[in-house]
Chain A
Amino acid sequence: MTAPLLEVRDLTVRFALPRPRPFGPRPYLEAVRSVSFTLAKGRALGIVGESGSGKTTTAMSAIRLAPAASGQVLMNGTDLLALDEDAMRRQRKDIGLIFQDPYSSLNPRARVADIVREPLDLMNIGTPATRMDRVRTLFTRVGLREDQLNLFPHQFSGGQRQRISIARALTTNPQLLVCDEPVSALDVAIQAQILNLLGHLKTELGLSYLFISHDLGVVRHVCDDVAVMYLGKIVESAPVERLFTQPQHPYTQALLSAAPSLKRRKSQGYARAMQITGDPPSPINPPQGCAFAGRCPKAQSRCRSERPEMKVAGDHKIACHFPA
């Protein structure tokens, strides 16, 4: 195990809700509840979960794009949450970010060369001439042509825009790339192109990925480790092969059996190994016990009253009273 690049300890994120009555106490929604994980250098950690599970909020507050209520985020040993604004700004060159929607994440009025160069301008890295060289190198690296440098974002397809987004994230030569659902807005054939590109970049540049996705197939393909989130907490985390072949938490098992697979055929009268009903509970008033108890087929009275602690067995962590 190499030294950790990013170590998140007990990260909690709270959002203020409107006061129910004037001068009354302000209620809070805990979107992320004491989440801890470690991302080693050169590895990819996938965070999976349904919408509203807090996966994006976790990643965004880990890199200080959303305010954290408490916790520590150690990047190469420095606590990002304790840095002052200027120091954090300098630290940002080590962090790249790719967003889900390639349409809204690129400035429609800027030429793509300027979009990709902007991080260098802001960080004041190199001279204007060397910056353009860097942009050209990156453009070829992500599979775009140099004659496209002066075009505007709307002249590109969704997959190409995502390539531009990747080039921009790589401009400052970061160590960490945060990918927030980078392929979920793309067609399957284009998804494969972008996933392969991300795979090559990781090996060549020795990048580490914090990879957020709801698509288990994508996560299995890209990631080395996976953390499954449910209602603001990590319920299970393990190396990717282990999690997919020996899932222990009932929620992970349900997610895996819900994901469509080419092997489950209607012609053979498929039946899901496990089917859960209903929707996740509201994070405003989370259940007292295990958050998944209301939908869990194995839930017992203890699950409803007592919140399960994270149990560690080697590199496999599970928060469940009755893991399978």
Chain B
Amino acid sequence: MTALLDISDLHVTFNTRHGRVTALDSVSLHVNAGETLGVVGESGCGKSITALSVMGLIPAPPGKIAGGSIKLNGEELTTASPARLRALRGAEAAMIFQEPMTSLNPVFTVGEQIAEAIMLHQKASHDQAFKQAIALLDRVGIPSPDTRARDYPHQLSGGMRQRVMIAMAVSCRPKLLIADEPTTALDVTVQAQIFDLLNEIQRDFGAAIILITHDMGAIAEMADRVAVMYAGRVIESARADDVLDHPQHPYAHGLIDCIPNVGKGDTSLKEIPGVVPPLHLLGDGCAFAARCAHADARCTREKPVLTDHGHHPVACHAIEEARL
């Protein structure tokens, strides 16, 4: 079975005042049709940049896809023309952003904005598109959708705005839905509603979802498979249960152990010491070496590569040498 989305050896660089920095360093991921891939990591680890490169939305300059390939349904995206990308965005792959207030246009009604996407990709008149928009609003659980469609974004609550974003994203039945921290700005009860809605949408529309998050709890509830990212590299990738129950990489381990869990009340949390190094200060070795309790000379010298050492793919010298 070929994957719906296949990212291989992707390099993205940015020109900054510190010189050229590598934001994504040989990232390889794949998403099968109808499944949810969770991409998890701290801020600055490259999870959003991965999503933006799939959508062809890397600001260039200063950003640049420096190498590798992104294939959606077998079609290469890194070399696709801007016009082709515009046709694909929304129709084949759609994105839900973190902050629904800033990603909706404040001067158009939400129904109008959903209808715009429909008219752009399908042969529909304005009336038909607006009717479809109302049906979509109903589908994503907005009460009295025909009046709400005539509301402006500021008249809706945060949770409703995110529902509008989801309605817009699924309006043309994309095969791939990228949700970039869709619930970070929302309350937990609303977050739970949005997660349930995304799972429902996936069942009904059969869309594959890439869920970008920093929350391992969200991964547990949403993801089939997980890629853990750190400083622009994928350091561990496996089925969600494998990563959650048997994390291999010391960083993945730390990420899971440092969560204060609702289910248990420990007295002391495991900490990961230090902070993520800035991208322009990354050396030749493993980016996590300075924070890692198992690091040795080889870790500061040589970058570990994602390889399967018996359990599932992980990029760590200590595991490769069975020191862990």
User: Using a CB–CB distance below 8 Å, which chain A residues touch chain B?
Assistant: 50-51, 157, 159, 187-193, 195-196, 199, 214-218, 220-222, 240-241, 244, 254-267, 270, 272, 275-279
> With A188-B255, A262-B244, A262-B261 given, is the CB distance from A276 to B189 under 8 Å?
yes
Please state if A261 and B260 are interface contacts (CB–CB under 8 Å): no
Chain B residues with CB below 8 A from A241, complex form: 265
Contact with A along B136-171 (1 / 0, CB 8 A): 000001010000000000000101100000000000
Please state if A189 and B190 are interface contacts (CB–CB under 8 Å): no
- 8 A-B pairs closest in CB distance: A260-B217, A192-B258, A258-B192, A221-B260, A50-B187, A217-B260, A189-B272, A192-B269
Beyond the given pairs A214-B187, A258-B189, 9 more chain A to chain B contacts, judged by CB atoms under 8 angstroms and listed by A's residue number, are A187-B214, A192-B270, A215-B260, A216-B188, A217-B262, A220-B261, A262-B256, A262-B261, A272-B192
Please state if B187 and A189 are interface contacts (CB–CB under 8 Å): no
Chain A residues with CB below 8 A from B241, complex form: 265, 267
Q: From the candidates B143, B188, B221, name the one contacting A266 in the complex (CB within 8 A).
A: B221
Chain A residues with CB below 8 A from B276, complex form: 187
Q: Judge whether B99 is part of the interface by a CB distance below 8 angstroms.
A: no
A216-B216 Cα distance, complex, nearest whole Å: 15
User: Using a CB–CB distance below 8 Å, which chain B residues touch chain A?
Assistant: 36, 42-43, 141, 143, 157, 159-160, 187-193, 195-196, 199, 214-218, 220-224, 239-241, 244, 254-256, 258-263, 265-273, 275-276
Chain A residues with CB below 8 A from B258, complex form: 188-189, 191-192
Please state if A261 and B261 are interface contacts (CB–CB under 8 Å): yes
A3-B132 Cα distance, complex, nearest whole Å: 63
Please state if A266 and B187 are interface contacts (CB–CB under 8 Å): no
> With A220-B265, A262-B216, A262-B217 given, is the CB distance from A50 to B189 under 8 Å?
yes
Chain B residues with CB below 8 A from A279, complex form: 157, 159-160, 190
Closest to A203 in B: B267
Q: From the candidates A50, A195, A259, A264, name the one contacting B269 in the complex (CB within 8 A).
A: A195
Please state if B220 and A263 are interface contacts (CB–CB under 8 Å): yes
Chain B residues with CB below 8 A from A199, complex form: 267-268
Q: From the candidates B188, B220, B256, B266, name the one contacting A214 in the complex (CB within 8 A).
A: B188
A160-B202 Cα distance, complex, nearest whole Å: 40
Chain B residues with CB below 8 A from A159, complex form: 275
A254-B239 Cα distance, complex, nearest whole Å: 29
Please state if B221 and A270 are interface contacts (CB–CB under 8 Å): yes
> With A50-B187, A159-B275 given, is the CB distance from A262 to B265 under 8 Å?
no
A267-B215 Cα distance, complex, nearest whole Å: 17
Chain B residues with CB below 8 A from A50, complex form: 187-190
Closest to B191 in A: A258
Please state if B272 and A192 are interface contacts (CB–CB under 8 Å): yes
Chain A residues with CB below 8 A from B256, complex form: 262
Closest to A219 in B: B260
Please state if B269 and A277 are interface contacts (CB–CB under 8 Å): no
Please state if A255 and B188 are interface contacts (CB–CB under 8 Å): yes
Please state if A244 and B261 are interface contacts (CB–CB under 8 Å): no
> With A199-B267, A214-B188, A275-B192 given, is the CB distance from A265 to B262 under 8 Å?
no
A188-B239 Cα distance, complex, nearest whole Å: 22
A266-B219 Cα distance, complex, nearest whole Å: 9
Closest to B213 in A: A260
- In the assembled complex, the CB of B128 is this many whole angstroms from the nearest CB of chain A, namely 30
Closest to A199 in B: B268
A188-B270 Cα distance, complex, nearest whole Å: 11
A221-B258 Cα distance, complex, nearest whole Å: 11
Q: From the candidates B42, B159, B220, B223, name the one contacting A261 in the complex (CB within 8 A).
A: B220
Please state if B222 and A190 are interface contacts (CB–CB under 8 Å): no
> With A188-B255, A217-B262 given, is the CB distance from A266 to B43 under 8 Å?
no
Chain B residues with CB below 8 A from A270, complex form: 221
- In the assembled complex, the CB of B100 is this many whole angstroms from the nearest CB of chain A, namely 14
Chain B residues with CB below 8 A from A240, complex form: 265
Please state if A244 and B262 are interface contacts (CB–CB under 8 Å): yes
Please state if B222 and A259 are interface contacts (CB–CB under 8 Å): no
Q: Which of B221, B255, B262, B272 has the most CB of A within 10 A?
A: B262
A159-B273 Cα distance, complex, nearest whole Å: 11
Please state if A275 and B196 are interface contacts (CB–CB under 8 Å): yes
Please state if B222 and A266 are interface contacts (CB–CB under 8 Å): yes
Please state if A265 and B196 are interface contacts (CB–CB under 8 Å): no
A157-B43 Cα distance, complex, nearest whole Å: 12
A306-B216 Cα distance, complex, nearest whole Å: 41
Chain B residues with CB below 8 A from A196, complex form: 268-269, 271
Q: From the candidates B189, B214, B263, B275, name the one contacting A157 in the complex (CB within 8 A).
A: B275
- In the assembled complex, the CB of B278 is this many whole angstroms from the nearest CB of chain A, namely 10
- In the assembled complex, the CB of B160 is this many whole angstroms from the nearest CB of chain A, namely 7
Chain B residues with CB below 8 A from A192, complex form: 258-260, 269-272
- In the assembled complex, the CB of A202 is this many whole angstroms from the nearest CB of chain B, namely 11
